Amino acid sequence: MITKPRLSFWQIWNMSFGFLGIQFGFALQNANVSRIFQTMGADVENLAIYWLAAPTTGLIIQPIIGYMSDRTWSRIGRRRPYFLVGAILASLALLIMPNSPHLWVAVGMLWILDASINISMEPFRALVADMLPDEQRTLGFAVQSFFIGTGAVIASLLPYILSGYFSISNEGTAEKPIPESVELSFYLGAFAYITAVVWTVIKTREYPPEDFKQFYPADSEEHSGFMAGVREFLQDFANIPSTMIRLAFVQFFSWLALFAMWIYTTPAVTSHIFGATDVTSKAYNDGADWVGNMFAVYNGFSAIIAFLLPVLAAKTSRKTVHTICLAAGGLGLMSIFYATDKNTLIFSMLGVGIAWASILSMPYAILAGALPENKMGIYMGIFNFFIVIPQITAAAILGYIVKTVFNNEPIYALVIGGASMFVAAALVTIVHDHEKGNKETLSYK
């Protein structure tokens, strides 16, 4: 069996650059969708239901895209066609969403946007496993985490920058409820998304099928036909590696916490810190802009931390690093409840940033070593089940809990998220890491 060659740092950089654009769409969605929904008349108790689009589309689309991309080869490669199609569709959705005339249209645009992001994102995960030898995979996922953090910083700050430094209005009107700063941010996000993905498509050369047969001759079996594909999917699902099953519990509580944060940070901060519930008030819009700053902080800090994680994992273990990072995230989320002013929230977001950097890299680095090489796409897609199921769970129960138990005070949803992150940290201890990639020699050529 021929071993995959090590790639230079800049080759890894180029193959991951598209994630910068993907994160523009993802971050604009996370920081602004609850604001858009509330501006268009959504009640706090229903926000989680409206957000069901994100996990539902991921549950359906990622395994399908993973299976298809495992079996695709075209003039532009195996994974890259999916990057490009997803980028085009997501960019169109970003252009349309801030112009939605009704709440139901905005909700529909969220479905389309999230489906398109999923089409782009899942093959990017598989591309790292495709292209890199095991000893470079932690670095590969860390570079993706860096671009995720960097893109999210810029995208999350866009409404604040446009209103604060370019005098673009951050308040809506009766005729046009979505602030101009938010609208323009989505336009800029669409441009960044398609541009970054096209860069990766142009700059990355994937290994053709004949190379994969040399790398993994025992895994060269191919299937064709719809029913054969269904049977293979069910067989793969029935034979999920034990490492994935144990990671599933960690992922469940990690992503339940994240989903709670994305849904409820805007209403929690605007009401708990800024004392505003009127979506047309200046205080509410100032608070909503500050949430963008908070999200920029945790994403920016995660971009910095991302490059430290492979070093720390090499000196300790990936499990140790992930446990510590998740605990930091739990502390950060729970501390929001005790914040006394908006500036205090910045420190809370540092803990969230540490957790986010690890969530985006360590589980995938651990998982990749336990998967058959010719099924990276399908298993990465199946792994997404354990990201979206907790989000669906959160959407189903958090609105009810906030309304009936906490008297519609969304700050308590963030407390629940913090507790969930601590549970995830404790569950890392049950995960088995094959450790082939733990003691890495990092290459920065």
Per-residue DSSP letter, 74: B
**pLDDT tens-digit readout, 411-425:** 999 999 999 999 999
pLDDT (0 to 100) of residue 215: 64
pLDDT at 288: 86
Domain boundaries, the chain: 9-206+237-430
Determine the pLDDT at residue 440: 39
pLDDT band at 268 (very low <50, low <70, confident <90, very high): very high
Which pLDDT does position 1 carry in this prediction?
A: 53
Residue 90 has pLDDT above 70, yes or no: yes
Give me the residues paired with residue 74 across strands: 77
What dihedral do alpha carbons 332, 338, 341, 345 form, nearest 10°? 0
pLDDT at 444 over 50: no
For residues 274 and 271, give the distance between their C-alpha atoms in angstroms, rounded to a whole number.
6
CA distance 81 to 123: 9
| Residue 424 in tokens | 């995830």
**Predicted local confidence at residue 2, as pLDDT:** 65
pLDDT at 389: 87
Residue 252: pLDDT above 90?
Answer: yes
Residue-wise pLDDT for 388-413, tens only, equals: 888 888 888 888 898 899 988 999 99
**CA 399 to chain CA mean position, Å:** 22
**pLDDT value at position 226?**
54
**Count H helices, E strands: the chain?**
19, 0
Residue 301 has pLDDT above 80, yes or no: yes
Positive or negative, the CA dihedral 286, 289, 291, 296 is negative
Distance separating alpha carbons of residues 83 and 91, to the nearest angstrom: 12
C-alpha 352: how far from its chain's center?
13
Please provide the size of the chain in residues. 445
Structural element, H or E, at residue 182: helix 180-203
Closest of 8, 28, 97 to residue 299, by C-alpha: 28
Model pLDDT, residue 441: 36
pLDDT at 216: 58
Sequence-distant (≥ 6) Cβ neighbours of residue 404 within 8 angstroms: none
At 176, which amino acid appears? K
Q: Which CATH number fits domain 9-206+237-430: 3.30.230.10, 1.10.3720.10, 1.20.1250.20, 1.20.1200.10?
A: 1.20.1250.20
**What is the per-residue pLDDT across 96-155, written as a single tens digit (0 to 9) for each?**
988 888 888 888 888 888 888 888 877 887 787 788 887 787 788 778 878 887 888 888
> For residue 175, how many other CB atoms are within 10 A of its CB?
5
Determine the pLDDT at residue 48: 76
Residue 363 has pLDDT above 60, yes or no: yes
Q: How confident is the model at residue 351 (pLDDT cuts 50, 70, 90)?
A: very high
- The two structure tokens encoding residue 45: 């108790």
Question: With bands split at pLDDT 50, 70 and 90, how would you rate the model's confidence at 231?
Answer: confident
Average pLDDT over residues 175-191: 88
